[in-house]
Amino acid sequence: MLVNRLKSFLTTLLATTALVLAAPALAAESGYREVQTDVSSPEGKVLVQEFFWYGCPHCYYMEDELDPWLEELDQDVVFERRALALGEHWIPLTRAFNAADQLGVADDTHAAVFHAIHEEGTRLTDAESIADFYAEQGVDRDAFLEAYNGFGTQNAIRQTGQIAEDAGVRGVPSLLVDGRFLVTGRLAGGSVEMLEVVDALIEQIRDERD
């Protein structure tokens, strides 16, 4: 009897250990991990948030995949860009996006900023050089600098940082779906795969709501 109990215990222990060891592999295969944040999708919608930085080459190359994906996006999906500062030297370009966003010109200038940095080697490292660049794109320079240095930009950076911290974002680009599924290139295997995982999660969320 004791021997049987011992065998049963060892079998259970080995099975449990196998599941624990397999968990990281299963997470990697899924392409995402579940997280807890205060973010929620608008009613009847699925919110997808992209965390990026203009200086990141991976974020730049992902634009080639994102652009056609966004063109085919269903009406119940809301896409939101979030410029994230994971280091002190990331802040100027993070401020740049948020200032442009407040002025309503982020979408119009987004591709130009990426192109200038990664294709032309333009150094946008401080408020003055960044303001000059946006002025060349037709944005009022004084209005841009006011937004760049304003409370709204600082608050947006703080909010994005808090969401990223809650979600455990450690690098960019990363995609947060419905505030509870974090998709990264490391987990998914690449930019194309990231969007495939997001599509699957969107379908999963729709099914949950039906």
The answer, yes or no, to whether residue 154 has pLDDT greater than 50, is yes
DSSP bridge partners of 57: none
- For 33-209, CATH gives 3.40.30.10
pLDDT averaged over every residue in the chain: 90
Higher pLDDT, 32 or 1: 32
| 71 close to 80: Cβ distance less than 8 angstroms | no
Q: Which residue has the higher pLDDT, 7 or 196?
A: 196
pLDDT more than 70, % of the chain: 86
Q: Judge whether residue 15 has pLDDT over 80.
A: no
Domain ranges for the chain = 1-30, 33-209
Q: What contacts 178, CB < 8 A, 6 or more positions away?
A: 39, 40, 41, 46, 47, 201, 205
% of the chain surpassing 90 pLDDT: 85
Contact residues for 38 (Cβ-Cβ < 8 A; gap 6+): 163, 166, 179
User: Is the confidence at residue 26, as pLDDT, over 60?
Assistant: no
Mean pLDDT value of segment 160-165: 98
Confidence of residue 42 (pLDDT cuts 50, 70, 90): very high
Q: What whole-number distance in Å separates Cα of residue 174 and Cα of residue 153?
A: 21
